[in-house]
């Protein structure tokens, strides 16, 4: 099938490449000309395991190409995915101006049937707006369908998530759209749930909000554990063995981040508000997440007292391992708070330092975790990269000025570290 993927970010680039891998002809479009130029010369603008090889393979096979000319891409494609960003506005609502812009361009250039599929995460009823926008400009009366196909991939394991998903959700209002999309996804071995467009849109927001709720729930439990002298790891294990609860997303830590959970939660709260429902539960989820980030700074202060003039070493900047994405990462808020308390910062992240330099220019970026430890008064772990789990802790202890570790991702065993002479604080641990 001939596909145009409009928006070549984390989602557009991965899904476009995977559709090409499945044998389709895919043109990935973006209005960021520099990004497209990079891609054309073989440079992948994001870090995602396995993506560079797959992009190269499909470009070589002439199934995948890149352009900044959206009109040309729409003209030659029968399925047009919209995968542009839907960032939050000041009030938390999703900014849909890019979705609208793209819909208008599609309407202006289409001369034959097009299936326009929303892949970006959007508020319920966006499909209706896309249809309305296209209809307004579709003076020639060209036949088209709108569908919703929310994306559930996770950065860091995006290719595998796309090719081996738990489910595929297709929101449609015509048999023709349903047939095209079920055919497109045929090579993927996963249940396909066909719904109306509004339900598909809500499934995405409801799923992300539910996962965020699970994280904030266990983070709230971690506070109870700390106060009561219990261990959140044991509590989570005991809860997770119950099949109705499940063990995933029960890891207490420094809070969730990334381009999905915080903004989707905010958008869903706003969607509910616009529909006349006060989604108090989700407001609490968001508050707990903010408190969790603040708690890290508090734990540092509780251990080293005044931060003015002290050096805090930070390991991990990306919102989770195996990605270079720092959008809404807890590290950003935590670094800001540490800096405003007067701390000097030394940081290391295997992939996310370049992006972080655009936000914090005057902190010290180190080449490895040991350089971070050298002369630091405390070491804070904010991302559970495997590399950090394998640290030579004897070396770490020697390099730190005071052997204080605040483990924001519970990657170490408290007892082991305390036996080694560290002052160790995890999240919700004894
Ligand atoms: P991104 O910012 O990485 O990519 C969006 C891309 O769209 C950018 O490259 C941008 O230049 C491009 N763009 C914006 N306006 C455009 C226009 N008018 N024409 C052409 N290109 C345009 O964002 P992302 O992480 O890929 O997310 C995209 C959507 O998918 C969002 O709605 C997000 O919530 C959703 N989503 C993201 C993830 C994830 O893990 N990142 C997972 C599932 C769903």
Same domain, 341 and 402: yes
CB atoms within 10 A of CB 285: 24
What is the set of active-site residues?
Answer: 260
Distance between CA atoms of residues 68 and 12, nearest Å: 13
Domain region containing 358: 210-425
Instruction: State residue 254's pLDDT score.
Output: 98
- Contact residues for 27 (Cβ-Cβ < 8 A; gap 6+): 3, 4, 5, 65, 66, 67, 73, 76, 77
Which residue out of 9, 148, 153 has the highest number of ligand 1 atoms within 8 Å of its CB and is therefore the one to mutate?
A: 9
Same domain, 154 and 231: no
Same domain, 173 and 222: no
Indicate whether 205 belongs to any domain.
no
Instruction: State residue 129's pLDDT score.
Output: 98
Residue 288 near residue 428, CB atoms below 8 Å: no
Instruction: State residue 269's pLDDT score.
Output: 98
Same domain, 225 and 145: no
Among candidate residues 154, 169, 195, the one where a domain is terminated: 195
Mean pLDDT, the chain, rounded, equals 97
Give the confidence band of 239 by pLDDT, cuts at 50, 70, 90: very high
Q: Please give the distance, rounded to the nearest whole angstrom, from the Cα atom of residue 241 to the centre of ligand 1.
A: 36
Instruction: State residue 399's pLDDT score.
Output: 98
Q: Please give the distance, rounded to the nearest whole angstrom, from the Cα atom of residue 281 to the centre of ligand 1.
A: 27
Atom 41, ligand 1: which residue's CA is nearest?
Answer: 10
Indicate whether 203 belongs to any domain.
no
Q: Which atom in ligand 1 lies closest to the alpha carbon of residue 152?
A: 43
Same domain, 138 and 231: no
Same domain, 260 and 406: yes
Residue 404 near residue 379, CB atoms below 8 Å: yes
Residue 23 near residue 1, CB atoms below 8 Å: no
Atom 25, ligand 1: which residue's CA is nearest?
Answer: 10
pLDDT digits (tens, 9 = 90+) for 123-168: 999 999 999 999 999 999 999 999 999 999 999 999 999 999 999 9
CB neighbour class for 25 (10 Å; exposed up to 12, middle 13-18, buried from 19): middle
Same domain, 218 and 189: no
Q: Please give the distance, rounded to the nearest whole angstrom, from the Cα atom of residue 203 to the centre of ligand 1.
A: 19
Distance between CA atoms of residues 118 and 104, nearest Å: 14
Indicate whether 304 belongs to any domain.
yes
Determine what percent of the chain is predicted with pLDDT higher than 90: 100
With residue 29 as reference, give the H or E element that holds it: strand 25-29
Q: Please give the distance, rounded to the nearest whole angstrom, from the Cα atom of residue 87 to the centre of ligand 1.
A: 9
Instruction: State residue 28's pLDDT score.
Output: 98
Indicate whether 169 belongs to any domain.
yes
Instruction: State residue 40's pLDDT score.
Output: 97
Indicate whether 204 belongs to any domain.
no
Atom 9, ligand 1: which residue's CA is nearest?
Answer: 9
Distance between CA atoms of residues 313 and 382, nearest Å: 11
Indicate whether 275 belongs to any domain.
yes
Around ligand 1, the residues with Cβ closer than 6 Å are 6-12, 29-32, 35, 70, 83-86, 98, 101-102, 120-121, 151, 153, 155, 259-260
pLDDT digits (tens, 9 = 90+) for 412-427: 999 999 999 999 999 9
Same domain, 172 and 249: no
pLDDT digits (tens, 9 = 90+) for 345-399: 999 999 999 999 999 999 999 999 999 999 999 999 999 999 999 999 999 999 9
Among candidate residues 195, 221, 252, the one where a domain is terminated: 195
pLDDT digits (tens, 9 = 90+) for 6-35: 999 999 999 999 999 999 999 999 999 999
Distance between CA atoms of residues 360 and 401, nearest Å: 24
Instruction: State residue 144's pLDDT score.
Output: 98
Residue 193 near residue 169, CB atoms below 8 Å: yes
135, 180, 372 from 74: Cα distances, Å = 16, 17, 49
Atom 14, ligand 1: which residue's CA is nearest?
Answer: 84
Indicate whether 419 belongs to any domain.
yes
Instruction: State residue 219's pLDDT score.
Output: 98
Distance between CA atoms of residues 93 and 110, nearest Å: 30
Structural domain count, the chain? 2
Instruction: State residue 238's pLDDT score.
Output: 98
pTM: 0.96
Instruction: State residue 59's pLDDT score.
Output: 98
Q: Please give the distance, rounded to the nearest whole angstrom, from the Cα atom of residue 12 to the centre of ligand 1.
A: 7
Q: Please give the distance, rounded to the nearest whole angstrom, from the Cα atom of residue 259 to the centre of ligand 1.
A: 9
Give the confidence band of 69 by pLDDT, cuts at 50, 70, 90: very high
Closest C-alpha to 303, from 423, 429, 427:
423
CB atoms within 10 A of CB 247: 13
List the CATH number of the domain containing 255.
Answer: 3.40.50.720
Q: Which atom in ligand 1 lies closest to the alpha carbon of residue 119?
A: 30
Give the confidence band of 429 by pLDDT, cuts at 50, 70, 90: very high
Instruction: State residue 89's pLDDT score.
Output: 95
65, 91, 282, 322 from 273: Cα distances, Å = 41, 12, 12, 35
Residue 308 near residue 341, CB atoms below 8 Å: yes
Indicate whether 389 belongs to any domain.
yes
- Contact residues for 414 (Cβ-Cβ < 8 A; gap 6+): 424, 426, 429, 430
pLDDT digits (tens, 9 = 90+) for 257-292: 999 999 999 999 999 999 999 999 999 999 999 999
Q: Which atom in ligand 1 lies closest to the alpha carbon of residue 94?
A: 32
Same domain, 178 and 230: no
Same domain, 37 and 61: yes
Instruction: State residue 22's pLDDT score.
Output: 98
Closest C-alpha to 162, from 28, 56, 15:
15
Among candidate residues 152, 171, 195, the one where a domain is terminated: 195
CB atoms within 10 A of CB 419: 10
Q: Which atom in ligand 1 lies closest to the alpha carbon of residue 264?
A: 34
Give the rounded distance of the alpha carbon of 353 from its chain centre.
17
Same domain, 312 and 189: no
Q: Which atom in ligand 1 lies closest to the alpha carbon of residue 121?
A: 32
Same domain, 358 and 252: yes
């Amino acid at each position: 099938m001939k596909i145009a993927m409009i928006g070549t970010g984390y989602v557009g680039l991965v899904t476009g490449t995977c559709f090409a891998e499945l044998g389709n002809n895919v043109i990935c479009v973006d209005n960021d000309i520099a990004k497209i130029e990079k891609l054309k010369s073989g440079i992948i603008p994001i870090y995602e395991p396995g993506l560079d090889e797959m992009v190269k393979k499909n470009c070589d096979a002439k199934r995948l190409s890149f352009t900044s000319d959206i009109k040309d891409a729409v003209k030659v494609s029968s399925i047009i995915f919209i995968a542009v960003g839907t960032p939050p506005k000041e009030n938390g609502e999703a900014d849909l101006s890019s979705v609208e812009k793209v819909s208008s361009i599609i309407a202006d250039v289409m001369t034959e049937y097009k299936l326009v599929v929303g892949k970006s995460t959007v508020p319920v009823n966006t499909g209706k707006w896309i249809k309305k926008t296209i209809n307004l400009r579709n003076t020639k009366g060209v036949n088209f369908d709108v569908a919703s196909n929310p994306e559930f991939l996770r950065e860091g394991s995006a290719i595998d998530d796309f090719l081996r998903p738990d489910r595929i959700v297709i929101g449609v209002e015509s048999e023709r759209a349903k047939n095209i999309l079920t055919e497109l996804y045929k090579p993927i071995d996963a249940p396909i749930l066909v719904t109306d467009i509004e339900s598909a849109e809500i499934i995405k927001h409801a799923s992300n909000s539910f996962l965020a709720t699970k994280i904030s729930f266990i983070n709230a439990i971690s506070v109870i554990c700390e106060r009561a002298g219990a261990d959140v790891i044991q509590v989570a294990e005991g809860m997770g063995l119950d099949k109705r609860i499940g063990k995933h997303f029960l890891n207490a830590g420094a809070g969730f981040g990334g381009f999905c959970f915080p903004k989707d939660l905010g958008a869903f709260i706003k969607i509910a508000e616009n529909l006349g429902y006060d989604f108090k539960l989700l407001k609490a989820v968001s508050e707990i997440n903010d408190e969790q980030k603040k708690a890290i700074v508090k734990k540092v202060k509780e251990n080293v007292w005044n931060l003015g003039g002290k050096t805090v070493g930070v390991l991990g900047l990306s919102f989770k391992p195996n990605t270079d994405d720092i959008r809404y990462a807890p590290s950003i808020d935590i670094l800001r708070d540490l800096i405003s308390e007067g701390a000097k910062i030394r940081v290391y992240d295997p992939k996310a330092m370049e992006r972080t330099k655009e936000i914090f220019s005057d902190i010290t970026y180190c080449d490895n975790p040991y350089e971070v430890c050298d002369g630091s008064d405390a070491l804070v772990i904010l991302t559970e990269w495997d590399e950090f789990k394998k640290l030579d802790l004897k070396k770490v202890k020697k390099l730190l000025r005071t052997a204080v570790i605040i483990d924001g991702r519970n990657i170490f065993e408290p007892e082991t570290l305390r036996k080694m002479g560290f002052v160790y604080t995890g999240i919700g641990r004894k």
